[in-house]
Each structure stands twice: as structure tokens, then as C-alpha cells.
Amino acid sequence: MNRTQTIRPVAIVGASRIPFCRTGTGYADLTNLDMLVSALQGLVDKYNLHGMQLDEVVAGAVSNHPKDFNLAREALLGTSLSPLTPGISLQQACGTSLQAAFGIAAKIACGQIECGIAAGADSASDAPILFSRRFSQRLIQLSKAKTPRQKLAALKGFSPSELSPVAPAIAEPRTELSMGEHAELMARQWQIGRAEQDELALASHQRAQAAYSACFYDDLLSPCAGMLRDNNLRYDLSLEQLSKLKPAFDRSDAGTLTAGNSTPLTDGAATLLLASEEWATAHNLPVLARLTHMETAAVDHVGGEGLLMAPTVAVANMLRKAGLSLQDFSHYEIHEAFAAQVLCTLKAWESVDYCRERLGLNGPLGSIDRSKLNTMGSSLALGHPFAATGARIAGTLAKLLNEAGQGRGLISICTAGGMGVAAILEK
């Protein structure tokens, strides 16, 4: 690239996803690849990309099978996109598809490429189940054995216990605590009570229900396996029902996180089409919004920081670089991994001490207008297929901004491993 070349605007020109389903329900028989193919084909159909050679498709999944060699490439080959389109797989836990969008956007901005699709898929219904390491080593040894003696040697000392499957771990490798257990610690540190968590969860369901009633999601969804809508959404939910649920992670009287104010294990896939404005115009596609700022951050969760607090850092750094305040937004999309996580994030931004000591600011970032938060519902109501959530949120926000005709939206997503990703979309 010529060093004097102007950085180009990056447009979000399309979004499509399949409905999200609770694990073991609508997509129980589908794989990550099946769902990602379906979501990509939905985008292709919606924007008439049949036979088109795109510059790249970047996608990933958190629950990966060894058989899914380059998931992104194999998925696009299952669609009617040109097979000349490159496919790149990546993974950053719950930030996967938004991080995929960041990479595509950076290449568009500097003129290296003109367009690309960011996507993510995850199936908890088809989680990889592994053999023990000892038995896996035996199988490798057996595959290399050429004589009966060598085969017997490979089986020497075999115990049936080696056949016990190793279930996928949900715990953080460094702390051996689940994400929910970490969120409980955060709720305790920030004094986030059960009642306010339940209230946020109820609001998510009510807003998602209202969005469906207004047909907001109709053109963002592509049917898959007979599913037409997200099936986690509860239309008859009440605070009374939520209050009766038992704690799910800390089962003592001190526990505040429940199945109702935490996201369920979910299957699904989502896509996002990004391009230069010139490419969008040439292909008669709308500029729904522009992706103007991107940020990634991490916290020391092993050393005691809250596992899901990295978005507070990412957002603060991004606002500083953008020259904006936290109040300069018409929409806020904060991923609802847990209601407690959202509330901890908001409280941290309001804290003088936290913003000064951890974020290096002179004062607090301040409060936001809660009426602008997750206005179409979010992960607590719609579900959370880990790698798909970023594309789902960005697609929703781009549509909101396009319908409004103007505005600025903030995206904040926490991820496993003590990381966070944030972005700004503008219209």
C-alpha cells in the first residue's frame, strides 16, 4: 500500500443468521459445518452473491472438532459462492466473529481487499468428545504397527478405563473455575444482587419479544432445519418465575446466578458482509453502517481480576482513541453472557476508583441511558452460540442504525480467557 493512501471507510452491507436454538433441540443433529453453511448460504441468497468470488471468508467456532479442517473454507465450499474465494479460520472465544470482522475491516481500510464475510458457528449439541490421551497414543502406535508383535506391544497394559471419554471442559484452564463461577465472584465484588440480574434478564426477553412482534428480525434470519425463530425466547416470562429459580453455580444462599439470568448453551451461526463503499455501490448493496473503531483487550483473571471485565478496558481505550465519551451513543449493545456481567461492566464505568486506578482515567466514564441498551433483546433472550454472537450483534446494530438513518452504536463483548472486544458502528 502507498504510505500516503487515505484510510478508506469500511461498510457493513449485509447480515444474516440462522435462528439460535437451545442445545439438544432444533439443531441436535447438525454440526458446526452444517450450521455455518446454512448461515452463509442465507447471506448469499439474500444479497445475490451466487457464483461471486469474494476476497475472503473469515470464520470460526469455539467447540471445534479435529475433523473440521479449516472450517471457514469447507463451509464456503458448501455454498454457491465461487470456490475461488479463500477461507480463513480463527478463534477468540465469544469474540470470534467480531474479531473476524476486525481483520477484514483492516484490510478493506488499507485497500488490500474490497470485501469479505465474517462469521461464526457453534454447536454445544455436537461437542467434541475425546478418548484419553493414553488410549489415543495406543491408536497412533497401532496405526504404525506392521507386525503382530508390534500390534501386541501397542496393546500391552491396556485397561478398559482408557476408553472413558473425556468430556469437553467448560472451566477456565488456568483457574479451573467455570465462567459462571467467575461471574459469581464478579457479582460479589461489585455487589450486584439477584433482583437486578433478574430484572435485566426479563427486559432482554421483553425487548426481544417486542422486536419479533415488530418483524425486526424477519430479514436478519434465514430458516434452518425447519427453525424460523430463536427458541430460547420466553414470551410468558415474569420476575416471579425468575425469582423461583435456584442458583446454578454457587448453590449456597449467597449464589445469585441462575439459569434464568445466564445465557443457555446454544447452537447457531451468524454472518456479516463487509466491503468498501465503492464495492457496495458497484454491486448495488446498501451501506447499513460503517465500522469505524475496533479494540481488543485482556485482563489478568489468573491474578485476580474479573474474568469478564476486559470489555471495560477495551471500551475505555477505544473511546480515548476515538475522542468520544461513553454518552456519545444512540445505541449500546453489551453482550449478555450473564446479567451480572453487564451490570458489573456498567458499575465499573460509573466507579471513580476503578476508572482512575484500572483504566487510567481522570474520572469515571459515567452512566448510560438504559433505554438505549440492547433494545432488541440480546443473548439472555436470543441465545449465545459462542463464536456467532459478535456477528449477530453487529448485524443487529447495523440494521438499527440504518433504520434510524443516523446514529452511533457501541458494541462490547466479553470472552473466555479474560479478553474483551469492542467496536463502534456509525451511520
- Residues acting as catalytic residues: 94, 384, 414
CA pair distance 63, 391, nearest whole angstrom: 17
Do 422 and 411 contact (CB within 8 A), yes or no?
yes
Residues 6+ apart with CB under 8 A from 250: 181, 184, 256, 257
The total number of residues shown for the chain amounts to 427
Torsion of CA 303, 307, 312, 318, to 10 degrees: 90
Identify which of 147, 74, 62 has the alpha carbon closest to the alpha carbon of residue 419: 62
Torsion of CA 307, 411, 236, 196, to 10 degrees: 50
CA pair distance 370, 387, nearest whole angstrom: 26
SS3 content of the chain, % helix, strand, coil (to 5): 40, 20, 45
> Identity (one letter) of the amino acid at 310?
A
Residues 6+ apart with CB under 8 A from 141: 153, 154
- Give CB contacts under 8 A, 24+ apart, made by 317-322: 318/293, 318/294, 318/422, 318/423, 318/424, 319/365, 321/293, 321/295, 322/292, 322/293, 322/424
Provide the angle, in degrees to the nearest 10, between the axes of the packed helices 133-144 and 148-155. 180
